[in-house]
Amino acid sequence: MKYVYITVSYTRRGAIALIIGGSVFWASETGAFSSAETTRSATMSAGSGETTLLGIQGIDSQTVVEEPQTITLTNRTQSSLEVTIQSRNNRFNFSTSQLRLNSDSGQSGDTSVSTATDQTGDVSDVIQFLAESPENGTNIQVARQLTIRSDSLGANKGQLVYAVKTDQSNGDIRVYDPVADTVNEPPQTRPASALGDTADIVGDSTADIPYLTKEGSNRIFATTVGNNEDTKIPKSNSTNPKIDPNKPTRIAVGEWQPATLSGKLILAESNQGNIAGVDPDGNAEIIAQPGNGCSAVMGVADIDNDGTDEIIFFDGSQEIRYLNQDGSTEKVQTGGVGSNNGSGIGPPADFDGDGIPRIPFINGSQNPALITVDGKKTILNKNGVARKAGVAPVDIDADGDLELLFLGNDEGKIQYVDDVLSSNTIKTLKADGKTITPVEKVGLGFGRKWER
């Protein structure tokens, strides 16, 4: 029998019978569109009902769910299915993007869905499922709309990323998981000179950590806990702009609509002091040429609540600024940010759940502090406890609230502000009972945990 391809838009009137080429195909109500292709006569449908060939549970387009959301897929065919799961606009990440469900009818598999690292608030996207049977050519395609509420604004509760000095190099990346109380070592080709926060950079639905290196001809890599090797971001044919790995800096990952390049870009300082963006294929472009230069990029977020994202960066005069999508820049009146071996700044985050993003930084008196875009500053401790190095917002004690991580003046050990904007208690981090002393010039980053 020749292939038959069906695309059906469903309504809530129930099942629809289609007669094509002498065969009857039944399509159950799904709440979204589905399609199927097969070399044999079969019932082609996908949805939550017990009569569908690919059962999908955990998606309701009318409901906003909290992350992470579990989606369960059930194979109700008589053959094995290989299911690929994708986010149409890359706004979601998955604990696994591929499932194999064997030929025993009724076998189920789960994937956990959360918002991508650069997404905040209520995030909507279309999840696409492609189920193929290598045994008989059955092909089922399904799309579902899902809205997930991100667990924090501009930051990711989960894990702490930093670098340590070892016998082999000065900049070996480590990732601390506070729930498991374990330190993981992702694969690394070169020592890191700068870190960025995690995002699905290379399209593998995992939390990739971007890093810069001073060694070798290739300067940009991405690494992932659990992988066997890291990923080299290839250099493009263009010689300009070049990312500068030689200065104490911070890099970020995000989408920027005005850019010629599309998708998630690694944002960093160029060798000319501009803001540069590099895509996963190594294509680069100048995002902006600030008059005061750029020495670090902290993140992409709607920091001024105008409905569009801004790029938050640290200029050449040690001032925090943000770039609007029309190309203009604004200065955040901090009164000075501490800078020594590194820049004492971090990405914006909502620390108390009031919907207001605050930029964390270390002031000139070595105090951890927060500031809003309109210049309202809150000093969290006035005892000069912090070193002038990169900071990070992380739920480091797994209590459901963000803490502010920084390098303390206590021999450079990682410390944190607990109960931010309330008691502001200073504590020292211990991983598996031990304190951590990272490389100061690399600073701290944050990441989301993904089960593999």
* 132-173 pLDDT per residue, tens: 888 777 788 889 999 987 654 444 457 899 999 987 788 999
SS3 content of the chain, % helix, strand, coil (to 5): 0, 40, 60
Q: Which amino acid belongs to residue 180? A: A
Q: Single out the residue of 314, 320, 324 nearest to residue 377, CA to CA.
A: 320
Sign of CA dihedral 337, 427, 151, 197: positive
This prediction has a pTM of: 0.69
Cβ count within 10 A of residue 21: 10
Q: Which two tokens stand for residue 244?
A: 């500068």
CA–CA dist 249, 406 (Å, integer): 16
Pairing of strands 54-57, 46-47: parallel
CA distance 161 to 184: 10
Q: Are 262 and 276 a contacting pair, CB within 8 Å?
A: no
Distance (Å) of CA 143 to CA 9, 58, 79, 128, 131 = 11, 13, 22, 4, 12
Taking only the tens place, the pLDDT of each residue in 70-104 is: 899 998 888 888 999 999 988 888 877 888 898 77
pLDDT at 140: 83
The Cα 268–Cα 265 span in angstroms is 9
- List all residues 6 or more positions away from 400 whose beta carbon is below 8 Å from its beta carbon: 157
Task: Output the DSSP codes for 400-438.
Answer: SS-EEEEEBTTTT-EEEEESTTTT-EEEE-EETTEE---
- pLDDT attached to residue 152: 47
Amino acid, single-letter form, for residue 291: G
Q: Token pair of 327, please?
A: 């190309």
Q: Where are the beta strands (DSSP E) in 240-336?
A: 252-254, 265-269, 275-278, 284-288, 296-301, 310-314, 320-323, 329-331
| pLDDT score, position 438 | 95
**pLDDT digits (tens), the chain, 452 positions:** 333 333 333 332 333 333 333 333 333 333 343 444 433 333 334 444 444 788 898 988 788 887 778 899 998 888 888 999 999 988 888 877 888 898 776 788 988 888 875 566 678 899 999 988 887 777 888 899 999 876 544 444 578 999 999 877 889 999 998 878 889 999 999 999 999 888 878 876 677 899 999 988 888 999 988 889 999 998 765 557 888 888 767 899 988 989 999 888 999 999 889 999 999 888 999 999 999 899 899 999 888 888 888 999 999 888 899 999 999 999 998 766 867 667 889 999 888 877 788 999 999 899 999 999 988 999 999 999 999 999 999 989 877 788 999 999 989 999 999 999 999 999 999 998 899 999 999 999 987 654 33
Q: Is the dihedral of CA 222, 159, 147, 132 positive or negative?
A: positive
Residue 95: phi and psi, rounded to 5, are -65, -30
CB 148 within 8 A of CB 114: yes
Q: Which two tokens stand for residue 131?
A: 């189920």
How far are the Cα atoms of 49, 112, 119, 198, 201 from residue 206, in angstroms, in the given order? 31, 12, 15, 9, 8
Mention every residue, 6+ apart, whose C-beta is less than 8 A from residue 390.
195, 250, 342, 343, 344, 345, 346, 442, 443, 444, 445
302-380-292 Cα angle (round to 5): 50
Query: Using CA atoms, how far apart are residues 55 and 34, in angstroms rounded to an integer?
Result: 12
| Radius of gyration in angstroms for the set of CA atoms belonging to the chain, rounded to a whole number | 24
Query: Whose structure tokens read 């945990």?
Result: 449
Contact predicate 160/396, CB 8 Å: yes
Q: Are 53 and 60 in contact (CB under 8 A)?
A: no
pLDDT value for 23: 30
Strands annotated E in 234-385: 252-254, 265-269, 275-278, 284-288, 296-301, 310-314, 320-323, 329-331, 359-362, 368-371, 377-379
At 75, phi and psi to the nearest 5?
A: -90, 115
Beta strands in 315-358 (DSSP E): 320-323, 329-331
Buried b (16+ CB within 10 A) or exposed e, 287-299: bbebebbbbbbbb
